[in-house]
Structure 1
Amino acid sequence: MLTLKNTLETDVLVIGGGIGGLCAAISAAQGGAKVIVLEKANSRRSGSGATGNDHFTCYYPKAHGNDMAPILKELLDSMLGLCHDTRLSVRFLERSISIADKWHEWGINMKPFGDDYVFMGHAFPNRPRIFLKYDGHNQKQVLTAQAKKAGAVILNHHPVLDLLRNDEGITGALALDMSGKEPSYTVVRAKKVIIATGAASRLYPPAGTPGWLFNTAFCPSCTGAAQAQSWRIGAKLVNMELPNRHAGPKYFSRAGKSTWIGVYRYPDGKLLGPFVTKATREVGDITCDVWNSAYSDVLMNGRGPAYIDCTGTGPEDMKFMRAGMISEGLGALLDYMDDKGIDPSKHGVEFMQYEPHLIGRGLEIDINGETSVHGLYAAGDMVGNFRSDISGAAVWGWMEGEHAAANLESGSLVEAEKSEWAQERMAYYDSFLTRPSGAHWKEAALGLQQIMGDYAAAGPHRVRSETLLCAGLKYLADLRRNAEANVKAANAHELLRAVEAFELMDNGEVIMHAARERKESRGMHQRSDYTFTNPLLSDKFLTVRKENGNVITEWRQRWSA
């Protein structure tokens, strides 16, 4: 049985030491708040931005002009734009360049080509380019140093297990302290909580290597914790039924396809798309941003595989591409290609569509970044009504830190550890450690992936239906009940992996409830019993929450600018 070793107090608690969490911590601390950051791993090397990035969505009047409208249109039409509340997008764009300025001042090279910002990649020919090209290989180390400099306390190896609240709103969080030899519980009482735990990977079987749980394109330790923990305390989630699928090199699950300077081709040499005949570092081939399912489609119709062809890319651009891959955190991919003698200037590289995951799907936030639970904010990949990946996490994290620090009087410190919910959850996690014998966490995790793949599958070429989703909910409930009764954790590491499996089960349940309610086909949510896209739902979002044990789904209008 674990003991409650520490009870801490702070003004602002930040959950997650990724891009959004660190920017929130810096901002809140600079605003005069006492800040604690709880991080599952180590903030210097954690999350989907752990090893770098090279594109930052941004509006820059000097390059784009004083009219933001064309840039907003490009954002909403991009691969990021499906689930945006427009007024959130406008606020993000208004603040985006100020965060790029701060990052550059701190030592993240946002101007690798000289004295000004340069925009390239993920772009149509002759259209505005909205993605700032930068060198983010050191971004986590720099942001960690800045958070500490601002006065934030970072507690690494402290994954949060549950959010704590009362009738007035958020009160803190329950964490697992894995920083020492013996694990224990820590409760942090807080006036405000900013949750920034990243995307949800490992929901579905890995497309490239089924059975290898951690071969994913995004951080495998990001398991939808924010969605699960917020769901359990009644917060609204939005757009959870609309899955995402990314793409990259076949079997070698590494995202960053816009860093490649090449064109996509069929095996006979014909181009996949109509946009460019020769890729450049400024534009590239945007075909697979537009035709997201291309790599799967060409396998299913027999015309594939699809290849990225860089043979027309000159030596200087190839050198530029390799540097970009370092910025993007693709060093392992470069090492592998060098070791195996794979030269993209001579050899086509097959691409594939990766498994579904949740990014830009999750907690609903308002114009200040606050969720439906008073005092609880959300920043980054698990926000459901806005998405812009690294830059979205940075900008919204910063704005939420500002708002939280400026509104501390609307929160209060209470003895959160004494709540019935906190006591119940500590007993729940103890049960996995104190059980004399039982099943391994991997059995639960693999069982979940099988159920999600069979009964809540994402397109293309796979469909959902009322009968499949109902069966999936039944089987998922069976899996949860059996896992809760039988999983045994031999140590803190196995307990954490079991916790992640149950977080993913929560996400799977929400996805299925929302998918049942969306009685149409849209994007990769394909219904065999509702095969059409309903235009009456085009400007509406679907929210899901739990209240007194009941699942409540509601439709609302998309928020305009």
Structure 2
Amino acid sequence: MIAVSRTIEADVVIVGGGIGGAMAAIAAADGGAKRVVVLEKCHVRRSGSGATGNDHFSCYCPEVHGDDVEPILRELMGSLIGQAKDVELMRLHLQESFDIVKMWEEWGINMRPLGRWNFQGHALPGKPRVFLKFDGRKQKAVLAEQMKKRGVTVLNHHPVVELAKEDGRICGALALNASTPEPSFVLVKAPCVILSTGLTHRLYVNASTPNYLFNTAHCPNNAGGQALGWRIGASMVNMEIPYTHAGIKYLQRAGKATWIGVYRYPDGSPLGPFVTRPDPEYGDVTSDIWNSAFIDVMQNGRGPAYLDCSENTPETLAYMRRAMFDEGLSALIGYMDSKGIDPAKHAVEFTRYEPILHGRGLDVDKDGQTTVPGLYAAGDMVGNAGCGLGLAAWMGWRAGHAAAASAISAAGTTTGDLALNPGIRAKMELLSSFMERKEGADWQEANIALTQIMSDYANVGPYKVRSASLLNAGLSYLNQLRKETNASLKASCSHTLMRAAEVLDLFDCAECILRSALERKETRGSHKRSDFTFTNPLLADRMLDVTRRDDGTVVTSWREVRK
């Protein structure tokens, strides 16, 4: 058995130190929690999708937008981060988000690189713009420093692999110490846990480079928060509604709104009707509105689709280059410079990426509270008000304050020995068995097999369909793969054991997707059912919750969108 090297008692534990997790830790400390512990898989100065920068923060600024938040809310709900979300939470986010912006500026993050509040990109011409352009290059280092000032304990290279409940309430977490080649376990007792592990990749075959699992448009976060919540009994929402991002082909990178250009067919005609010349204020929102544009033009033979930046002025091109550094695209810029790729001369091909869990996951209230007492969530892994830097920062802030208050009132309620908790004990034994095997399959084999199952049996539209027979077959194959993996997977060090634990989490996310897709008996967006081809208007304002009970059974329920 892998040894337990440390046992810690905390008031609030934050799982993941990205934007949402860092804000949650700062808020929990400010809210009165004395022992705040962040358990981070990587390192808090460079972790999460905002590791090297961001340049868009969704918010409402009265001095720019006026006194009425509702027009701004309408634009946000129609954006790529607003679809299938609770209106109530999105409105509250807008009403409170500018306070976060000013807080960040006070801490030293450059929220006004042009000297003014500048809203650009992801917008329709003539409509209000919701996304504040800022310089996020220093954001993680600044947030890490703010945590340090408040005495937050940070354990880097300590991914959480299991949660525990006592009398129906969260009572702690099991972390894997991956800071040295030889792994060990760390037990953390706490009445409140905030999950903030980001979005999830590696569920489907990579759209650009199938042989490379880590060619991703975001930090390669993998399923931790969603799977932890699923196993502990939290309700999951929107897991069956696919999200597919888009960006440059082959070298997957986010930040398409940072590019200033026009999407065009090879003959030079615009792909969409919104812009015909580069417009720094709005960008080309075609791919946000027409999500399947880049694969549609390949299927009908009119492609490829290119982004044309050649009509920009030298000043605008220089501004775009600076914004790419703000967004954290320095590696992309370095590659383009080394290969002599000049946006003023060379069009760049764009494509749609594989499905990811971005804004799909735990169902939370306005304070980030899940359906499990003591368990909170923030960031891209939230299903009804997550995704995007602005929402992650805001929800992390609210969840941190709420968890601190709850922890103070629940002090002394976690009394049991975490090492004897059945779920914790089972996970420790399973992961230990991977290290004890003399031979066996590695984690990549299991992960690749999973991506193939999901791509074959639960893929997304418009050119792939789902059905009861396909989804049930996928569940059957997933069950076989899970059993084979548990019985034969081998890990050689803490790093490969961490990856093995991620694959187990991916299995749980895959099951939740398959079961959710089975329950949604309609076609909606890229969730296309060949056996239910119509979009049911009775489900237009409803969300599907899926919950795994303690005995392993799965239940589904529908609820109204909160407006």
Q: Same fold per TM (> 0.5)?
A: yes
Instruction: Give secondary structure in 2 for the equivalent of 1:258.
Output: coil
Secondary structure of the residue aligned to 2:10 is: strand
Instruction: Answer yes or no: is 1:451 the counterpart of 2:453.
Output: yes
Give the corresponding residue for 1:490: 492
Cα offsets for 1:326-375 (capped at 9, x unmatched): 01111111111111111111111110101110010000001221000001
Q: Distance in 2 between matches of 1:76 and 1:503?
A: 30
The Cα offsets for residues 135-169 of structure 1, whole Å up to 9 and x where unpaired, read as 00111111001111111111101010001112231
Alignment of 1:65-80 (within 5 A): 65-80=66-81
Find the counterpart in structure 2 of residue 131 from structure 1: 131
User: Residues 278-319 of structure 1: CA distance to partner in whole angstroms, max 9, x if unpaired?
Assistant: 122111111111001100000000010000011111100000
Equivalence for 1:325: 324
Equivalents in 1 of 2:427, 2:443: separation in Å? 18
Counterpart position of 2:168: 168
Give 2:98's aligned residue.
Answer: 97
1:345 aligns with 2:354: no
Partner of 1:269: 268
Asked if the contact 2:362/2:384 (under 8 Å) is kept, the reply is yes
The partner residue of 2:554 within 538, 543, 551 is: 551
Which letter maps to 1:457?
A: N
Confirm whether residue 386 of structure 1 aligns to residue 385 of structure 2: yes
Amino acid in the other structure paired with 1:443? E
Counterpart residue number, 1:369: 368
- Where structure 2 has 5 or more consecutive residues not aligned to the other structure, the ranges are none
In the alignment, is the contact (CA less than 8 A) between 2:71 and 2:128 conserved in 1? yes
Q: TM-score, normalised by structure 1?
A: 0.98
Letter in 2 for 1:38: L
CA-to-partner distance for each residue in 1:191-244, whole Å, 9 max, x for gaps?
211110010111111100001111111211x11111111111111101100111
CA contact (8 A) 1:83 1:387 kept: no
The CA distance in 1 between the partners of 2:437 and 2:387, in whole Å, is 43
Alignment correspondent of 2:277: 278
Unaligned runs of 5+ in 1: none
Task: Pick the aligned partner of 1:422 from 421, 424, 431.
Answer: 424
Aligned to 1:159: 159
TM superposition shift of 1:173: 0.3
CA contact (8 A) 2:182 2:493 kept: no
> Structure 2: how far apart are the matches of 1:225 and 1:170?
16
Show the counterpart of 1:527: 529
Q: Deviations over 1:236-264 (max 9, x none)?
A: 10110011111111101011100010001
Which residue of the partner structure matches residue 112 of structure 1? 113
Corresponding residue for residue 479 of structure 2: 477
- In 2, Cα distance between the equivalents of 1:19 and 1:143? 8
Letter paired with 1:154: V
After TM superposition, the structure 1 = structure 2 runs for residues 206-225 of structure 1, keeping only pairs within 5 Å, are 206-220=206-220, 222-225=221-224
The residue aligned with 1:506 is 508
How many residue pairs were aligned?
A: 558
Cα pair 1:157 1:177 within 8 Å, conserved: yes
Q: Is the Cα contact below 8 Å between 1:440 and 1:487 reproduced in 2?
A: yes
Partner of 1:311: 310
Corresponding residue of 1:26: 26
Equivalent residues of 2:208, 2:252 under 8 A apart: yes
1:408 deviates by: 2.2
2:11 aligns with: 11
* Cα distance, 1:388 vs structure 2: 4.0
Separation (CA, whole Å) in 2 of partners of 1:451 and 1:91: 39
Alignment RMSD (CA, Å): 1.0
Measure, in 1, the Cα distance between the counterparts of 2:489 and 2:405.
44
CA deviation profile, 1:45-77 (whole Å, cap 9, x unmatched)? 111111100000001111111111101111111
In structure 2, do the counterparts of structure 1 residues 263 and 439 end up closer, same or farther at CA, with 3 Å as the change threshold? Answer: same
Kept in 1, the 8 Å contact 2:166–2:414? The answer is: no
Q: Take 2:269 and 2:462, find their aligned partners in 1: how far apart are those partners? A: 22
Match of 1:395 in 2: 394
Distance (whole Å) between structure 2 residues aligned to residue 125 and residue 104 of structure 1: 29
Aligned-residue offset at 1:91: 1.5
Contact 1:57 1:388 in 2 (8 A): no
* AA in 2 matched with 1:172: G
- Structure 1 position 181, deviation (Å): 5.0
The alpha carbon displacement at 1:409 in A equals: 3.8
The 1-side partners of 2:309 and 2:8 are apart by 54
> How many angstroms apart in 2 are the aligned matches of 1:165 and 1:494?
28
- CA displacement, residues 465-521 of structure 1 (integer Å, 9 cap, x when unaligned): 111001000001001100110001111111111111111111111100000111111
Q: Say whether 1:413 aligns with 2:414.
A: yes
Aligned mates of 1:300, 1:100 — CA distance in 2:
42
Following the alignment from structure 2 to structure 1, what is the Cα–Cα distance between the partners of residues 270 and 140?
Answer: 38
> Which residue in 2 is equivalent to 1:140?
140
The residue aligned with 2:47 is 46
The alpha-carbon deviation at position 413 of structure 1 amounts to: 2.8
Q: Letter of the 1:368 partner, please give it.
A: D
CA–CA separation in structure 1 for the residues paired with 2:213 and 2:405? 42
Output one character per residue of 1:5-46: Cα deviation in whole Å (capped at 9) or x when no partner. Answer: 111011111110100000000111112212000000101111
What is the DSSP-based 3-state SS (H/G/I as helix, E as strand, rest coil) of the residue aligned with 1:407? helix
Match of 1:257, SS state, is: coil
Instruction: Quote the residue 2:85 is aligned against.
Output: 84
* Runs of 4+ residues deviating >6 angstroms: none
Letter of the structure 2 residue corresponding to residue 557 of structure 1: E
SS in structure 1 of the partner of residue 11 of structure 2: strand
Cα distance in 1 for partners of 2:211, 2:478 equals 19
